[in-house]
Chains A and B, each alone.
Chain A
Amino acid sequence: MTQYETVIGLEFHAELKTKTKIFCSCPTDFSAEPNTHVCPVCLGLPGVLPVLNKRAVELAIKAGLALNCQISHLSKFDRKNYFYPDLPKGYQVTQFPLPICTNGYLIIKDDAGNDKRIRINRIHLEEDAGKLVHSGTTIATSAYSLPDYNRAAVPLIEIVTEPDLSSAEEAKNFAEMLKLTLQYAAVSDVKMEQGSLRCDVNISLRPQGQKELGVKTEIKNLNSFRSILRAVAYEQTRQTEALDNGERIIQETLTWDDDNGTAFSMRSKEDAHDYHYFPEPDLVPTIVEQDWIDEVAKELPELPQKRKYRLVDQYGLSDYDASTIVNNPVLALFFDRVLYHYDDPKTVANWLLGEISRLVKSSEEEIEMISLKPDDVAYLLTQVKEGAINNNSAKAVLEEMFQTGKEPDAIIKEKGFAQISDTSALQDAVKAVISANPQPVADYRQGKKQALGFLLGQIMKATGGQANPQAVREILINALDNE
């Protein structure tokens, strides 16, 4: 049986987080009532002209920098021509020969767990199309379809990798790392399920050791990491079987059917579109000076890869804990903010991944929605460290903070959680316990050290658990030894 090597390239579309559309001032929020965020420009009425949104260019540059790309000082827009009712002008304004970013890469883990560099061919800027709502399942089988142009001309970047990926797992790893990187760069909402990040997979097989690439197919409509994994595995199996049976792979575009776990053909190469690309005459070339690139670079935060190294190498967190924090940018930012006021990374990580994560999970809220303030958490941890409150009380205070958004100090006072560290108050309690328990006291003085635990427990009980155990221990030992 021939052994095959799988060759995979990915294409992503990410919606840019701009306030307004790419060529007009309509809002980009397309969840509004259909056709309310539209104007003559994004509806493509006769005679209107596009004016390029500067922020869209900036975010594309930022994405390029985050993905280690070269930023083009000169790029330009082209028209990609095809007829479809969701495309108001009959062409999409995109970038063909001169994209805004080229030659980037991302490092992911390969199947053996080693670092692998995946090259990015290009990133180009373009406009999104509108959305069709069909009365049936497809445009061909529906009695009618209703176009909604709210999404038309929302700015997109298309990210195209080189065919550097070799397995379904790698494809998924890349997609996850890309999503995370774009999330940190804050260029896109990257929600696959909502379509703000979309992925197409190009896949081909070749006999192990062969140089030239096999015939590829393209799979569209992948809207989760899981579907990337499943679709690649499906297509790998399909192509392997076909090749083993001596069949030839047909170059075609497939649509992934996630419900049934299969892909079906949309069109073959023969009826592939000829898009008649040509330069968009209504826009002037986009000139990006180095100064501008430098300005944008200042907006970039620490990116996930670097951030993880910091957590592991500098702070000594475990690889697992560091990944858990870094993989969630909100959590990672929260971690840094707490750390800013409370310089003990391990403790902060323990609380964040323990108690706080538990609270978030049980509340069924997204972490970005919670009202917990990093400053307050740092304050609470400081109180624990200084012995003003014990661990168990701190957990209760945290929960109250989480539920009500109140400040920790107020909660500690309100609930009377403050530990009794006041020596005279504790001394009274110690005296009372010693005189009420002569037998254990005698036992201790005769060398039965375990009697100390009983006496400590009695004091904690007497003080309602609020005594500072450390202080109590010292006073008790002192009293037993010296009196």
Chain B
Amino acid sequence: MSSPETTTITSWNIRQLAQALQDQTVTSVQATEAYLGRINQIDSILHAYITVTQEKALADAQASDNRRAAGKILGPLDGVPMALKDIFCTKGILTTCASKILANFVPPYDATSWQMLERKGAVLLGKCNMDEFAMGSSNENSAFFAARNPFDIERVPGGSSGGSAAACAADLAVYTLGTDTGGSVRQPAAYCGVVGLKPTYGRISRFGIVPYASSLDQVGIFAKDTEDCALVLSAVAGKDEYDSTSMPLDVPDYTKACQKDVRGMTIGIPKEFLGQGIDREIIAALEDGAAKLEQLGAVIKEVSLPHTPYALSAYYILATAEASANLARYDGVRYGLRIEKDNVSDTMEATRSAGFGDEVKRRIMLGTYALSSGYYDAYYNKTLQVRTLIKDDYDQVFAGGIDCLLTPAAPTTAFKIGEKTGDPLAMYMSDVCTVPINMAGLPGLVFPYRLSGDLPLGLQLIGAPFGEEKLFTVGHALECPRLLPRDIITQAKKKGVVA
């Protein structure tokens, strides 16, 4: 039997590739070569990757094929090529966080989530582009180059995990991992037409994730559909003894939730998410989705989360306050960039001035200010109170018998590169639908619903703490068939984008 076409292999989801590997119609090496070939072909246009780990990928693929020959396969992810946001520490592999200050940083340890996947046979294709230190909503804050949206290469893929979203959408990896602090997985998933999950805070270990805002950061998953996403979550979730904030709860087989019926479920529509600034077409899609759920036997209820309007401003105090401390360690003393000056404080200052980009500096300054004595109570403490109120809103709604909430994923579809770079507030607004969920520590799942013109339109489901299964059930019922971007090279030629 002849091997499938390269483009056929790279269009497969995890289950399709796992089946083909099992049927031996393709080897992991062949699949990996197909992906590496495609990366080689179009990533100079998309810039989804910062580092491609070609040698390691091929070696890992070969090891997987050897295991398969020996009948010692490690599960459905064994031999499946994937990629990580460049915020995951990878032992012996450059981990830059898209920052000049870590441009030479090679960690001597692995992030726990990556280690878990590697132990299940995952093949790492490389490290994906992102906004510097996960601070941004468009990927334009990468210190190296901006990633592009595969559906329209003149548009942003979203951020901060833009590279991971673009790689998954453009078939440059079967699935990818990102991180989500205020929407950094879900907003780019919506923009790039893939499934994006931010699990409950504490569901996946944060160990080895370069932190932006520790109380909000969570590992997220990009996949071609909800079932793939569920498969990956089952592999990376669980208690990690190296992360005190990870929860010791059982990890179910999440894929089973995809087969469940939505009949009898109660889905809430929070009215605060349908206000000003949300595209009419997105609201129409949400109403359409709600109607579809009703047809399938679910009950739709309007609910209220009254403190939602305060979430975005509170988020930008809390996240930046934590970031100001988390980024203090990049001082040029032990690792990363060092700009040598006459004395240590000048060296630290010069290093940080040269090493951080504008948005990172803006957030460090904001956070430092919010924590200053005299302002602490007015800002940081107030924010903690707002956070509690937001969380209480959700607790009440879920205690009232709501299984999950349906909301827009973002106010608009993907915007143009450069459109919002001059206006940070407008940029921050693109996270208005996702930020409250991080503040409340809840799981959120974004799935593609349909195309709006040429661009994907995504919706978001929000669950109770550790209620990921319900999100998969409803998401699986509502997601549209996989959206495929138009040929990247043709787009580039047409739009005069030089690789």
Q: Residues of A with Cβ closer than 8 Å to B?
A: 40, 43-52, 79, 81, 83, 85, 88-91, 139-140, 145, 147, 274, 276-278, 281-284
Residue of A51, A145, A277 near B241 (CB, 8 A) is A51
Residues 373-409 of B, flagged 1 when their CB comes within 8 A of A and 0 if not, give 1001000100000000000000000000000000000
Rounded to whole angstroms, the CA-CA distance of A81 and B329 in the bound complex is: 10
Given contacts A50-B244, A147-B333, A281-B322, contact A91 B328 (CB under 8 A): yes
- CB closest chain-A residue, reference B348: A83
Residue of A46, A145, A281 near B329 (CB, 8 A) is A46
Complex contacts, B211 vs chain A, CB 8 Å: 46-47, 282
Q: Are B371 and A276 in contact (CB under 8 A)?
A: yes
Closest chain B CB from A273 CB (angstroms): 10
Dominant SS at the B interface? loop
Q: Residues of B with Cβ closer than 8 Å to A?
A: 87, 89, 95, 97, 102, 105, 107-109, 111, 206-211, 213-215, 241-245, 321-322, 324-325, 327-331, 333-335, 343-345, 348, 368, 371-373, 376, 380
Rounded to whole angstroms, the CA-CA distance of A386 and B204 in the bound complex is: 73
Closest chain A CB from B9 CB (angstroms): 33
Q: Are A90 and B206 in contact (CB under 8 A)?
A: no
Residue of B244, B329, B376 near A52 (CB, 8 A) is B244
Q: Are A46 and B89 in contact (CB under 8 A)?
A: yes
Closest chain A CB from B422 CB (angstroms): 30
3 cross-chain pairs, A with B, having the tightest CB-CB distances, nearest first: A90-B328, A281-B215, A276-B371
Tally of contacts, chain A with chain B, CB under 8 A: 105
Complex contacts, A274 vs chain B, CB 8 Å: 372-373
Closest chain A CB from B137 CB (angstroms): 22
Residue of A47, A85, A90 near B208 (CB, 8 A) is A47
Rounded to whole angstroms, the CA-CA distance of A73 and B442 in the bound complex is: 28
Closest chain A CB from B52 CB (angstroms): 21
Given contacts A81-B328, A83-B345, A139-B344, contact A40 B207 (CB under 8 A): no
Q: Are B215 and A85 in contact (CB under 8 A)?
A: no
Given contacts A47-B89, A48-B208, contact A88 B109 (CB under 8 A): no
Q: Are B244 and A283 in contact (CB under 8 A)?
A: yes
Q: Are A88 and B334 in contact (CB under 8 A)?
A: yes
Closest chain B CB from A280 CB (angstroms): 8
- CB closest chain-B residue, reference A50: B244
Given contacts A90-B331, A282-B214, contact A47 B207 (CB under 8 A): yes
Complex contacts, B105 vs chain A, CB 8 Å: 46
Rounded to whole angstroms, the CA-CA distance of A139 and B206 in the bound complex is: 36
Q: Are B343 and A276 in contact (CB under 8 A)?
A: no
Known: A51-B242, A83-B328. 11 other contacts (CB 8 A): A44-B329, A46-B102, A47-B209, A49-B242, A89-B329, A90-B327, A274-B373, A276-B368, A278-B376, A281-B213, A283-B245
Complex contacts, B214 vs chain A, CB 8 Å: 281-282
Residue of B245, B335, B345, B380 near A282 (CB, 8 A) is B245
Closest chain B CB from A26 CB (angstroms): 14
Complex contacts, A81 vs chain B, CB 8 Å: 324-325, 328, 371
Dominant SS at the A interface? loop
**What are 16 A-B interface contacts by the 8 Å CB criterion?**
A45-B109, A46-B95, A46-B105, A46-B330, A47-B207, A47-B208, A47-B211, A48-B109, A49-B207, A83-B345, A90-B327, A140-B343, A278-B325, A278-B371, A281-B214, A283-B245
Most interface-central of B95, B213, B321, B333 (chain A CB within 10 A):
B333
- CB closest chain-A residue, reference B373: A274
Residue of A46, A47, A88, A90 near B325 (CB, 8 A) is A90
Given contacts A51-B244, A81-B328, A83-B348, contact A46 B97 (CB under 8 A): yes
Q: Are A278 and B344 in contact (CB under 8 A)?
A: no
Closest chain B CB from A94 CB (angstroms): 13
Q: Are A40 and B321 in contact (CB under 8 A)?
A: no
Complex contacts, A284 vs chain B, CB 8 Å: 244-245
Q: Are A282 and B244 in contact (CB under 8 A)?
A: yes
Q: Are A88 and B329 in contact (CB under 8 A)?
A: yes
- CB closest chain-A residue, reference B216: A281
- CB closest chain-B residue, reference A86: B333
Rounded to whole angstroms, the CA-CA distance of A89 and B321 in the bound complex is: 15
Closest chain B CB from A240 CB (angstroms): 32
Closest chain A CB from B134 CB (angstroms): 12
Q: Are B111 and A47 in contact (CB under 8 A)?
A: yes
